[in-house]
Amino acid sequence: MIDKISLEVKIIEALQKIYDPEMPANIYDLGLIYNIDISDTGYVNIKMTLTAPACPVAGEIIMEVDTKVREIDGVSDVNVMLTFDPPWNREMMTEEAKLELGFL
């Protein structure tokens, strides 16, 4: 049986190394990750969004999320689901990201 809590921490740490090219902050702190669901077998479902539906690097960001999470010990498979419901807005950002980007 896997330790879902420590696995989720590792996943979040990996996601915090992926940056949105249009905003100098990582995708996790930007609030682009809506949900991380981990099964008992290590199958990871990630529900995420982008800052804008017409993001020119959407495919690259999704592939980077898939690749980085897949590399984590304990992850058996990854499914990254892109959604725009609800649409992203600045209120979804962490306080740290808002400070970093000068929104506070």
What domains can be seen in the chain, in order of their start residue?
4-94 (3.30.300.130)
Per 3-state DSSP, the chain is made up of helix, strand and coil in percentages (nearest 5) of 35, 20, 50
Per-residue pLDDT tens digits for 7-32: 999 999 999 999 988 888 999 999 99
pLDDT at residue 73, as a whole number: 96
- The residue ranges of DSSP E strands in the chain, in sequence order, are 33-38, 43-48, 77-82
Short-list 63, 77, 68, CA closest to 15: 68
| Structure confidence at residue 64 (pLDDT) | 97
The predicted model gives 60-84 an average pLDDT of: 97
pLDDT above 90 for 39? yes
pLDDT of 93 reads 95
As a residue count, the chain comes to: 104
- 27 half-sphere exposure, CB direction, 13 A CA radius: 29
Chain segment 46-59, per-residue pLDDT in tens? 999 999 888 888 89
pLDDT at 98: 94
